[in-house]
Amino acid sequence: MKEISWDDLHLFLRVAEAGGLSGAARATGLSAPTLGRRMLGLEQQTGQTLFHRAQTGYRLTPQGEALLARVRAMQAAAAPVAELLSDELPLIRLSAGTATAFFLADRYAEIFRPGDPFRLNFITTEATLDIAHREIDLGIRNRPPDSGNLASRPLGQLRFAPYRCHAMPVSGALTWVGMDPEHARHPAAHWLLAQGHCIATYANSVATLHELVRAGAGIGVMPCMVGDRDPALTRAGPIIEALDETQHLVFHADDRHRPALRTLISRLAALYAANADLLAGRSPLRGDTQPS
């Protein structure tokens, strides 16, 4: 068998991830017929059927699934080489949920300084991105990794409490603001949905939920690092101990010795240590209040 080119394998990866030729065409700039011919040529070269072809798209065969796993591993291994040969400063992609991203953005000067030999890309999402296959470089998560070639470092305890708008009078039965079930990803969102409270307003993003609570729409559950620092909010009850979590910084095990990554990891750890009281709910602007 002839040596298979990386270009063909890269195109295979795009077709597999897109689930068909049209999506891969948009990602690569090549036409769908060209991609179809390249995939057929790859199958002929490997002697294996890699796709089930249908009008609805391209679905991987077991042989295709096995090849996809290996091509992703090749792509992950090639990333540091591409970074080394690039003329640009390395770009570190840091993923975090909305509340954590806001916390980091407010303290940007403590994690990035003029003259640093790297660039930062903040990726704000409630989804868990794939570090093993290099979707991102660093991820802040509420648990350590349990699979893949990943490493982690604990950052500190994070606690949650209910909050309401400080300007709203506490009279009558206050309703709640929650994440709608389709977008409820974090344990705090699931906890509220399971309590049986009267949820008058739903949101599909953490940022919108925060703004609704600030506007007086009701009580919302938030990390203390967000709610306790917002002068428009006050606690509507005690810390919810069932939601206590430890945040972890997760990264690819092969990257632990990259100088730029080590610098950023060290700064993030120092930032969390310096803000341990805020993260753990020990420094509220106002004391706890109970909703009536």
Grouping H, G, I as helix, E, B as strand and the rest as coil, residue 261 is helix
3-17 tens-digit pLDDT: 788 888 989 999 998
Q: What residues does each domain of the chain span?
A: 6-85, 91-155+246-274, 160-243
pTM: 0.69
117-154 tens-digit pLDDT: 899 999 999 888 888 878 889 999 999 998 778 999 99
Q: Look at residue 289 and tell me whether its pLDDT is greater than 90.
A: no
Helix (H) or strand (E) segment spanning residue 210? helix 206-214
Asked whether this chain's domains 6-85 and 91-155+246-274 adopt the same fold, the reply is no
- 91-155+246-274: what fold? D-Maltodextrin-Binding Protein; domain 2 (3.40.190)
Grouping H, G, I as helix, E, B as strand and the rest as coil, residue 112 is coil
- pLDDT tier at 292, thresholds 50, 70, 90: very low
Provide the CATH number for the domain formed by 6-85 in this structure: 1.10.10.10
Q: Which residue, among 220, 242, 237, 224, has the nearest Cα to 279 in the 3D structure? A: 224
CATH architecture type of domain 160-243: 3-Layer(aba) Sandwich (3.40)
- pLDDT tier at 172, thresholds 50, 70, 90: low
